[in-house]
Amino acid sequence: MPVHIPRNPPLPDTFHARARGELRALAFQPIQRNRGINYPCTESELRDATTPSHQPRSTVSAHQASQEVLAYNALGRNLSRREYNAICRLEDVVLGVFANRINWTPDLIIKAFCDIDVVFFLGRLRGHVYVQWRSASSFPPPSRHRLYYGRTDYLGGGKAVIRLNADGIFASTRLSTFKEMWRTMLHEMCHAYEFTQVASQNFESNRHGRHFGTKILAVHERARREIHVGAIHRGEGYNDYSYPSTRTR
Ligand SMILES: [Zn+2]
């Protein structure tokens, strides 16, 4: 049972992305294994990441769901071979982009969806959640305080769709578009975990409440360490249930 030892990312972070307009246009291309980025995923992984399915599920409380994600993302845990291989693929592509060895395209985040699921969300989103790139017209209009980079819509019956805002992410001047894409996906997958694992009448009333905080803080810590991207902007605050003595005061 291996433990993943993260490599050191190249510093400083000097990678050059394609032009933002080109990335936006590529986001709306059909996603196929043999075009766009060459990320190792199977046909069935790609199908499950992009289309709804009818798998059954069982439910737990919102508290238990957040504790599951917290425990699963404990640093230094022994990994299954499947999870270890998935984390190595994710780390490889992130470091490849950082080092300018890989010219990435937006289909990456969808091709990597099943690996992200296996590494951070117990592999429980696959078959219940699918992902789409959308234009800004699919999101509430931006305001001075809020710009939607992504949203996760509940479809009923434990199913959800994650929509990523290509106009928001690829127009962003904050951070890099690459890191912004990962951050948005990890954030939305934390919402999706509740939608798939918790009965709808038991959803946390505050979408960004303490159960959400527990999940995203655990995912953020581990993602930063293991695959060198985060789930939270600097200065973005969440409370959580897990470390009440240090983080909720
Ligand atoms: Zn959110």
pLDDT in tens, 40-70: 999 999 999 999 888 888 999 999 999 999 9
What secondary structure letter does DSSP report for 153?
A: E
**Ligand 1 centroid – CA 150 distance (Å):** 8
Per the rule left: phi > 0, alpha: psi between -120 and 50, beta: everything else, 157 is left
Max Cα distance, the chain (Å): 50
pLDDT tens-digit profile of 99-111?
Answer: 989 999 999 999 9
13 domain residue, yes or no: no
104 CA distance to ligand 1 middle (Å): 25
Average pLDDT over residues 110-114: 98
Q: Is residue 141 part of a domain?
A: yes
Host domain of residue 202: 20-247
The total number of structural domains that make up the chain: 1
Q: 214, 69 in Cβ contact below 8 A?
A: yes
Distance 126 CA to ligand 1 centre (A): 19
Going from the Cα of 151 to the center of ligand 1, the distance in angstroms, rounded, reads 7
Query: Model-level pTM?
Result: 0.92
pLDDT of residue 145: 73
Kindly state whether residue 7 falls inside one of the protein's structural domains: no
Cβ 190 vs Cβ 231: under 8 Å? yes
The reply to whether 157 falls in a domain is yes
Give domain status of residue 56, yes or no: yes
Average pLDDT over residues 134-147: 85
Token duo for residue 124: 């429980």
Predicted local confidence at residue 113, as pLDDT: 98
For residue 9, the tally of other CB atoms under 10 A from its CB is: 15
In-domain check, residue 230: yes
**222 belongs to a structural domain:** yes
133 domain residue, yes or no: yes
